[in-house]
Amino acid sequence: MSALMTVGPRKWLGSACIVAMSAVVAIAQEPGKTQGEKPGSGAAKRASIYDKTADAKVQVARAVERAKHDDKRILLMFGGDWCGWCHKLHDLFKTNREVAQTLDNEYELVTIDLESPNATPLLKACKEALSQAELQKGVGYPFLAILDADGKVVAAQRTDVLEEGDHHDPKRVAAFLDNWKVPPKVAKRVLDRALSRASSDDKRVFLTFGAPWCGWCHRLNDWMAQPEIAAIIERDFVVAQVDIDRMTGGNDMLKHYQPKSSGGIPWFAILDAQGKPLATSDGPDGNIGYPGEPQGIDHFLAMVKGQGRRIDDRQLGQLRKSLEEAAERIKRQPGH
């Protein structure tokens, strides 16, 4: 019981991910009943999942930044390395396919050690989301809280109710995570808003398609989100990002704009203000995906230059330099 203190395979093609892979992916411990959780016993042999030196306030601030960028929520797990049930739940997060996929796609997980700086006021704020009846039952560990992308507490959860025998019930944990994830956006509405802005601002739409399991999609989104890059792109384009897994109608929209290509994702297109494709990431050899190779960079810049009207040659040079430097960093990474 909770302790109480007084993706599946992925396939890569160049710098694009194969779309077919998207589916893969309070009862107190009484003295004398520590079940190997005393410091220096079994707990010391487990890999650490908490950091007593990490400032909880800083941990949350960093998670908020990531959650805003990826349209996720934040899952806080309070506890400590002494807590066997904390390790059991953390193991479930990694080993159960459904739970792991939901957690990876929808949340930024932050483990908060109860003895770390600023953990106490954060825990107090999270407990306020519980009902009085739940508080009276006592709060065991691990204790969970859900924050939105602004860092506001939207839910708190005692984990004893997620237990079954000597483990956490995967179905209950999955249901909890599924219940509090960000409500799915509708792809058509995302695109309609972008088209409306493009029409009002005399711009075009830079429409990208990706998925949570696609590492190259994250690379593209992260690169385009850099302030110096976004400032250039936004001179001529309204960026609209469609998640084919998390958005309602996302995959259907990809099929609409990419009916014949099998080059995977990221895939992108430049549209006029009426939604008509003017250029796509399909080059002579198929979808370029993330523009990390020389021919891919050339194709990407040709799209921007050909459909842009305010981006000048100097700014195109900045984009090229940034992509080439990013490509060199990627090549130096282990395992590339």
List the CATH number of the domain containing 47: 3.40.30.10
Closest among 73, 79, 210 to 143, alpha carbons compared: 79
Two tokens, residue 157: 């959860």
Give the 3-state secondary structure of residue 44.
helix
Q: Per-residue pLDDT tens for 95-108? A: 999 999 999 999 99
pLDDT at 68 (0 to 100): 92
Q: Per-residue pLDDT tens for 145-191? A: 999 999 999 999 999 999 999 999 999 999 999 999 999 999 999 99
Number of domains in the chain: 2
- 77 lies in a domain? yes
- 248 lies in a domain? yes
Residue 286, class by beta-carbon neighbours within 10 Å (0-12 exposed, 13-18 middle, 19+ buried)? middle
In order of 71, 123, 157, 283, the CA distances from 60 in angstroms are 15, 12, 18, 42
Torsion angle, alpha carbons of 292, 296, 300, 305, to 10: 120
Q: Looking at the chain, how many residues does it have?
A: 336
Give the 3-state secondary structure of residue 144.
strand
Last residue of a domain, one of 121, 152, 180: 180
- 14 lies in a domain? no
pLDDT at 17 (0 to 100): 66
Residue-number span of the structural domain to which 226 is assigned? 187-332
40, 170: one domain: yes
pLDDT at 196 (0 to 100): 98
139, 191: one domain: no
Give the 3-state secondary structure of residue 50.
coil
d(C-alpha 269, C-alpha 278), whole Å: 7
107, 219: one domain: no
pLDDT at 260 (0 to 100): 78
Give residue 202's region: left, alpha or beta (phi > 0; psi -120 to 50): left
Last residue of a domain, one of 180, 208, 241: 180
Q: State the pairing for strand pair 153-158/143-147.
A: antiparallel
- 12 lies in a domain? no
Last residue of a domain, one of 146, 180, 214: 180
Q: Per-residue pLDDT tens for 5-35? A: 433 333 334 566 655 444 333 323 322 222 2
pTM beyond 0.85: the answer is no
Amino acid at 64: V
The stretches in the chain having pLDDT less than 70 are 1-45, 261-262, 335-336
Q: Are 21 and 9 in contact (CB under 8 A)?
A: yes
Mind giving me the DSSP string for 299-335?
Answer: HHHHHHHHH-SS--HHHHHHHHHHHHHHHHHHHHSTT
Give the 3-state secondary structure of residue 305.
helix
158, 191: one domain: no
d(C-alpha 59, C-alpha 267), whole Å: 33
143, 222: one domain: no
